[in-house]
Chain A
Amino acid sequence: MIGAIPLPYPFDAAFMQRALAACVVVGVFAPVIGTFLVQRRLSLVGDGIGHVAFAGVGAGLLAGVWPVWTALAFAVAGAVGVEYLRMRKKASGDLALALFFYAGIALGVVFASRAGNGSIDFETLPYLFGDPFRVSDAGVGAVILLGTGITAGVWALRRVLFAIVTDEDWARVAGLPVDAMNAALAALTAAAIVAAMKIVGILLVAALMALPVATAQLLARSFRDTMRLGVAIGAGSAVIGLALSRPLNLSPGGAIVMVAAALFAVVAVAKRTVPLLQGAH
Chain B
Amino acid sequence: MTAATEPGPAPGVPLLEARGVSFSFGRGSVLDEVSLAVHPGEFVALVGPNGAGKSTLLKILLGSLPASLGSVRLFGAAPEDVHDRWRLGYVPQRPILSSELPATVEEIVSAGRLRQRGWWRTLRPEDHDAVHHALASVGLGDLAHTPLNELSGGQQQRAFIARAFASGPDLLVLDEPIAGVDGESQRKFRDSLVHLIQEHGSGVLLVSHELAAVARDLDRVVVLKRHVLFDGTPDELAASGVSLGVHRDDLPLWLEGLR
B97 within 8 A of A: yes
Return the contact of A159 from the options B90, B104, B114 (Cβ within 8 A).
B114
Known: A222-B147, A281-B147. A176 touches B114 (CB 8 A): yes
Asked whether any CB of chain A lies closer than 8 Å to the CB of B142, the reply is no
B141 touches A (CB below 8 Å): no
Residues of B within 8 A of A177 (CB): 119
**CB-based nearest A residue for B58:** A173
Interface of A is mostly: helix
Q: Which of B11-19, B46-54, B105-113, B130-138 lies at the binding interface?
A: B105-113
Bound-state Cα–Cα, A34 to B149, Å: 20
Residue of B nearest to A41 (CB): B98
Give the CA-CA distance A171 to B98 in the complex, in Å.
15
B86 cross-chain contacts in A, Cβ below 8 A: 174-175
Instruction: Tell me if B187 is interfacial: C-beta within 8 Å of chain A.
Output: no
Residues of B contacting A222 in the complex (Cβ-Cβ under 8 angstroms)? 102-104, 107, 145, 147
Is the pair B119, A217 in contact by a Cβ cutoff of 8 Å? Answer: no
Interface centre among B107, B119, B123 (most CB of A within 10 A): B119
Contact B119 A176 (CB under 8 A): yes
- A213 contact set on B, CB distance < 8 A: 101
A281–B110 touching, CB < 8 Å: no
Tell me whether A281 and B150 are in contact in the complex, defined as CB-CB below 8 angstroms, given that A222-B102, A225-B102 are known contacts.
Answer: yes
Given A159-B110, A167-B92, A281-B150, verify A174-B102 contact (CB < 8 Å).
no
Contacts of A168 in B (CB 8 A): 96
B96 contacts across to A, CB distance below 8 A? 167-169
Given A160-B119, A166-B97, A220 and B111 touching (CB < 8 A)? no
Let me know if B95 is at the binding interface, CB within 8 A: yes
B152 contacts the other chain (Cβ, under 8 Å)? no
Q: In the assembled complex, which residues on chain B have CB atoms less than 8 Å from the CB atom of A223?
A: 101-104, 107
What residues of chain A lie closer than 8 Å to B101, measured between beta carbons?
35, 38-39, 213, 217, 223, 226
**The 9 A-B residue pairs with the shortest CB-CB distance in the complex, in nearest-first order:** A175-B85, A163-B111, A160-B119, A223-B103, A173-B90, A222-B104, A39-B101, A221-B147, A175-B115
A residues apposed to B, CB below 8 Å = 35, 38-41, 156-157, 159-160, 162-163, 166-177, 213, 217, 220-226, 281
Can you pick out 14 interface pairs between chain A and chain B where the beta carbons lie within 8 Å of each other?
A: A162-B103, A166-B97, A166-B98, A166-B108, A166-B111, A174-B111, A174-B112, A217-B100, A221-B102, A221-B104, A222-B107, A223-B101, A226-B101, A281-B147
